[in-house]
Chains A and B, each alone.
Chain A
Amino acid sequence: MWAPAASANFRVGVDIVPVERLARLVTEHPTSIDTLFTRREQAYCLGKRRGHEHLAARFAAKEAVLKAFGTGLGQRMRWTDVEIVNDVLGRPRVFLDGEVARLAQRRGLVAVDVSLSHTAELAIAQVVAIWDPPAGGPDAPTSGEGGASVP
């Protein structure tokens, strides 16, 4: 019998976004695209034939990252603090900036991985984050750090 490790500090996050909902947001509020997506994300997605699907998948990924961090969009955080960029092989990679990057460093983030999928109707993202909390520091996130956040 094999007993899986009970002490591994990992946490998953998943989110699903209706493509039409994201399309309506960026169409009705054109400036929202700069609030939500970095220049690299915009360049990648808007160059695709089904650009709104790709944008929706990246928005889902940002939400999934925050869920894997045990928080929502907290104080001083920006949606562009989480960036999803495909590498040369097409694999999506997570890049962190600003307050989200500081939170990750403070809590001892070791690695994060993301997987995306989308259809014409729905986009989904799954994230796994692995933590190695610093000695004497806060544990890996279970329910946020005590700050309020937008889910």
Chain B
Amino acid sequence: MALARAEIDAAVQSAVAEALSVSEDEATPDATLLGDLGAESIDLLDILFRVERKAGVKIQASELAAWVQGGISDEEFGDANGMISAKGLAQLKKVMPQIDPDALAGKLEAEKVLSLFTVGNLSELVAQRVGASS
């Protein structure tokens, strides 16, 4: 039976808190994983393995990039200087609704995209995977 959304949110929150050794009060939905919580790539791996154990959904680290990019090619997602295009920003707004595309226009480097990814964004990805597999 698929987990309810509240259960998914709780599972992701505790996975983040355990992996990063922070309190669940700090691992709030609007906290960014890399910025606010200081996660490194090895921590993201730890979080995803814990999510798999708690929510039964396997997500590879590279799938995070694929998820935020939404099937848009690299060439369309960013420009020649590595800045996210208008089309890329519109896609990011779908998976990271908290961002302001106008404020980020011409300023967001492709390699910085995941720095905007929050605990809540991860919960949404997990929820969609749970829904897809239920």
List chain A positions with a Cβ less than 8 A from chain B.
17, 21-22, 24-25, 28-29, 31-32, 35-36, 59, 63, 70-79, 138, 142-151
1/0 per residue, CB under 8 A from A, across B34-73: the answer is: 1000001111111001100100000011101110110000
CA distance A33 to B42 in the complex (A): 12
Q: Is the beta-carbon distance between B77 and A148 smaller than 8 angstroms?
A: yes
CA distance A17 to B66 in the complex (A): 25
Minimum distance in angstroms from B54 CB to a CB of chain A: 12
Asked if B110 lies at the interface with its beta carbon under 8 angstroms from chain A, I say yes
Residue of A nearest to B63 (CB): A75
Residue of A nearest to B115 (CB): A151
- Determine the main DSSP class of B at the interface with A: helix
Asked if B109 lies at the interface with its beta carbon under 8 angstroms from chain A, I say yes
B-chain residues with CB within 8 Å of residue A71 when the two chains form the complex: 111
Most buried by A among B60, B74, B80, B115: B74
Residue of B nearest to A74 (CB): B65
- A150 in contact with B65 given A25-B46, A32-B49, A73-B41 (CB within 8 Å): yes
Minimum distance in angstroms from A81 CB to a CB of chain B: 9
A-chain residues with CB within 8 Å of residue B10 when the two chains form the complex: none
Q: Is the beta-carbon distance between B82 and A143 smaller than 8 angstroms?
A: yes
Asked if B75 lies at the interface with its beta carbon under 8 angstroms from chain A, I say yes
Asked if B78 lies at the interface with its beta carbon under 8 angstroms from chain A, I say yes
Asked if B79 lies at the interface with its beta carbon under 8 angstroms from chain A, I say yes
Q: Is the beta-carbon distance between A76 and B66 smaller than 8 angstroms?
A: yes
CA distance A72 to B117 in the complex (A): 15
Partner of A143, one of B61, B66, B68, B110: B110
Q: Is the beta-carbon distance between B69 and A147 smaller than 8 angstroms?
A: yes
A-chain residues with CB within 8 Å of residue B50 when the two chains form the complex: 29
B-chain residues with CB within 8 Å of residue A25 when the two chains form the complex: 42, 45-46, 49
Q: Is the beta-carbon distance between A147 and B77 smaller than 8 angstroms?
A: yes
Q: Is the beta-carbon distance between B42 and A146 smaller than 8 angstroms?
A: no
Q: Is the beta-carbon distance between A142 and B82 smaller than 8 angstroms?
A: yes
Q: Is the beta-carbon distance between A73 and B109 smaller than 8 angstroms?
A: no
Partner of A149, one of B75, B80, B114: B114
